[in-house]
Structure formats: C-alpha cells, structure tokens
Amino acid sequence: MSNKMKTAVLVSGGGTNLQALIDSIDRGDVQSAEIVCVIANKENAYALERARKAGIPAKAITADFEAGALAFMQECGAELVVLAGFLSIIGKGILSAYKNRIINIHPSLIPSFCGKGYYGLHVHEKVLEYGVKLTGATVHFVSEEVDGGVIIAQKAVEVRHDDTPDVLQKRVMEEAEWVILPRAVELVASGRVQIQGRMAVITE
C-alpha cells in the first residue's frame, strides 16, 4: 500500500501546471504525493486529456460542482487538494472537508495583483499596466479569503519592457509556477509545512 499523500487536482483549462506536477512525479522530484484524480469545472478543459494520458481518473463536473467534486475526491481517497489553474472560488463544503489541505498557485507575488477578479491573463495585464519590474508566482493555502491564505512559496520573475501579457504569462509559468508548485506539493505532502499564525514554517 502506498504511503504517498493522495492528491486531487482541480483545473479549468489547459492544465500546464497539472502537467508540470505529473512530470515532477514521474522524474522523482515529488516523491511524497500521488495524483488520484483530476476534476475540471469545464467539459472542454484539455487538462482532462492530460490526466487520461497519464492514467489518472478524470472527470468534468459542470452542475453542482462542490457536491460532485467533494464526492469524487472522497471516493478516490484524496487527502490533499491542489488548485492548478482552477478559475472558480472554492465553496465552504470543500474548505471545511479539507481545512489546511488545499493549496493554490497564483500568478503574481501576493499580496500584489490578487483577490477577486485577478486570475488568468488579467493578472499579467494589470502587472504591465502598473509598470512593476518584478512579478512572479505564489503557492498558498486556500482560505475563505480569496488569495488570502498562508503563503508556502514564492518565486520572482523579471518584467521586461517589451512584454505582452501573453509573453509574460508564459515566462511566469515556465520560470515560477512550474518550479514552485511541485516543490510546494512535496513540502506539504511530506509533512514539512506547519502553519503558525500567518506563517508557513518549513522544516528540512
């Protein structure tokens, strides 16, 4: 019987962060977690195809998402939930069932460019509009406050003068998101993250 933490991944789109996590598990960079199911809130999410190619049970749930997702995750024995490009707000039922066991990747350095309305390409549009020199990505625990949970990991990425939102989005994914999400999953799954107040204390 595997002693790896059974992990559910929630997605909405192409699933590039899901793929980064699958690849990290395959390489052995993530040794303490295994993906037991992938759930999308959109029927045409390509992430579902990525999951199926990797032999992972995958399902699209478009009606009564919270109840359906919770039932499927529990059926699969999920102990940890990863939001990997999931563009909806998590409801109280899932938050309660997986308290301090839900993590999210956000494409900016929280607390900048986060909260309601800040998701997907819009984040990078606002970064360029504001003219900051650094952006990046953040992995954090999910709480009832949107993008307000305890931060686990962050990585900065340079903003260049000729960036477009699409170009910046790609760089943030490649240089930050795909690096820190697998790392954070390994840290949480291996029991090396403890929440103390507003801080995530990481032990070696």
Residues with a known catalytic role: 106
Encoded tokens for 107: 């494409």
Please check whether residue 21 is in contact with residue 189, taking contact to mean a CB–CB distance below 8 angstroms: no
Q: Which long-range contacts (CB under 8 A, 24 or more apart) does 108-117 make?
A: 108/135, 108/136, 108/137, 108/138, 109/134, 109/135, 109/136, 109/137, 109/138, 109/154, 109/156, 110/138, 110/140, 110/147, 110/151, 110/154, 111/147, 114/138, 114/146, 114/147, 115/146, 115/147, 115/148, 116/146
Q: At what angle do helices 178-189 and 16-27 cross, to 10 degrees?
A: 60
